[in-house]
A and B are shown apart, each in its own frame.
Chain A
């Protein structure tokens, strides 16, 4: 079964450092997302991406965050200058879209980011 893959599975970084989390969405999917989950808290929406541009973003997704689809397969989340409160599990997700049976959003296993 096709799946969303994410790397790294776990990253420890120092406060102020830049971090790039990588995702390979399910091939032929057209909608891409990043969510995050702080330990013990709810899964929170960060951003959605469609047709090579951000379609929606949350208040969490400030100027320190950016997303990119550099080629036909990867989808990245960059945090420019990490803060302690960015420590969380980050989930990439994708959806086929475009057809009635393509409404399901599939999540990756997550990248656990620890900022020290």
Chain B
């Protein structure tokens, strides 16, 4: 399973754009990159998933360079409610994939948004 490395913590202020970079040097061909958000005592909440290039949804963007050895989660104009732990996960989540969708969580990045 591809190992991921992301910053332990980040600080930001309300209204700023936050970029969290994750490195996954040994990502496999069939691996997808998925980001989750987790608040204390709650389940991980899906943010965005991608395979290559750029993916955007209503809450975030995910930038993946051509070599796919890293990815950057971009949160536009964060608010206090975005204070949470953000996890970058890499794995073969395809139907019938090698791992049946097993996700391996790391420690994540604790994002603190200040007023």
- The chain A residues found within 8 Å of chain B, CB to CB, are 4, 30-31, 33, 35, 42-45, 48, 50, 55-56, 89, 91, 93, 95, 97-100, 102-110, 112
Contacts and interface: CB of A to CB of B under 8 A. Distances in A.
B89 to A, nearest CB: 9
Contacts of A95: 93, 101
Given A105-B46, A107-B44, A45 B93 contact: no
Nearest to A31: B101
Contact of A103 (B32, B87, B102, B108): B32
B43 A103 contact: no
A112 B43 CA distance: 11
Given A105-B93, A107-B44, A33 B105 contact: no
Contacts of B103: 35, 43, 45, 105
Given A42-B106, A103-B32, A103-B49, A55 B93 contact: no
A109 B101 contact: no
B43 A45 contact: no
Nearest to A54: B100
Interface residues of B, number: 26
A40 to B, nearest CB: 10
Contacts of A93: 43
B16 to A, nearest CB: 27
A99 B94 CA distance: 8
Contacts of A112: 41
Contacts of A55: 100
B101 A43 contact: no
B62 to A, nearest CB: 13
B100 A91 contact: no
A43 B103 CA distance: 9
A44 B103 CA distance: 8
Nearest to A47: B102
